[in-house]
Amino acid sequence: MTLPLSPSSNAQALIQAVEQATSPVALLLAVRSLAELRSVDAIPTLIQVLGYNNPGAAVAAVDGLVNLGDLAAPVILEQIDGYNYGARAWAIRALSRIGHPDALDTLTEAARQDFSLSVRRAAAKGLGTLRWAVLPPDQQRPVQMQTLETLTAVCGDGEWVVRYAAIAGLQALAAVLEPADPAVADIQRLLQQQAATDDTLAVQARALWALQAIAPDSNA
């Protein structure tokens, strides 16, 4: 190798390696290399990998997309797979971790009514951790209250792990609100109810943990 490759031809080679991988391990290694390149050229291929039913490769692809952050979010929103719930769950996870508020409507719809629990779970967690500060100040509170309403509804989901994720989302939401905000008290009441009455021990424990994080002194 005498000449350094230009970034785009490097991406091209790594994309080709992903497309031509012949074993799960080869795919995983190729996706990791492509993800580490942090090139916008890699975005469509990384999104495609989410549909390959290879959990290891999908984790690497999500990491790659999250590293590209707000550059990847619009492409993911545009290409989200309505037919493959496995791929959709990973895409929602990536959007959740990127946290751009443009994903609000997609996450809200996914948390409330996707048929797949892995999609609802990832969306519920992500709704709590959107980067509200990106929005103009006068828009922040209305969408936060909309999110509170969504997560309150999701606390009634039939699957424990989705309720668990909603609680994680509520804890994160409470953390960005002013402590004196009446919405924080609403969240605390909801969490107390979940801690006392949820039929799954892990969900009760998560609610208790969230309460301790929100008001460390009052829940000793």
Binding site for another protein (CB under 8 A): 24-25, 28, 55-56, 59, 85, 115-118, 121-122, 124-125, 159-161, 164-165, 168, 195, 201-202, 204-206, 208-209, 212
3-class secondary-structure state, position 56 = helix
Of residues 59 and 71, the one with the C-beta less far from another protein? 59
Q: What stretch of H or E contains 13?
A: helix 7-19
Of residues 11 and 90, the one with the C-beta less far from another protein? 90
Of residues 105 and 159, the one with the C-beta less far from another protein? 159
Query: What is the smallest separation between the CB atom of 61 and another protein, expressed in angstroms?
Result: 13
Of residues 101 and 128, the one with the C-beta less far from another protein? 128
Residue 4 CB neighbours (<10 A): 8
Query: What is the smallest separation between the CB atom of 178 and another protein, expressed in angstroms?
Result: 24
Query: What is the smallest separation between the CB atom of 12 and another protein, expressed in angstroms?
Result: 27
Query: What is the smallest separation between the CB atom of 30 and another protein, expressed in angstroms?
Result: 15
Of residues 39 and 125, the one with the C-beta less far from another protein? 125
Query: What is the smallest separation between the CB atom of 74 and another protein, expressed in angstroms?
Result: 23
Q: What is the DSSP string of 131-195?
A: -GGGS-HHHHHHHHHHHHHHHHHHTT-SSHHHHHHHHHHHHHHHHHS-TT-HHHHHHHHHHHHHH
Q: Which amino acid, residue 170?
A: L
Burial class (CB in 10 A: 0-12, 13-18, 19+), 3: exposed
Burial class (CB in 10 A: 0-12, 13-18, 19+), 200: middle
User: Residue 173 in contact with residue 148, Cβ under 8 Å?
Assistant: yes
Query: What is the smallest separation between the CB atom of 133 and another protein, expressed in angstroms?
Result: 22
Of residues 37 and 125, the one with the C-beta less far from another protein? 125
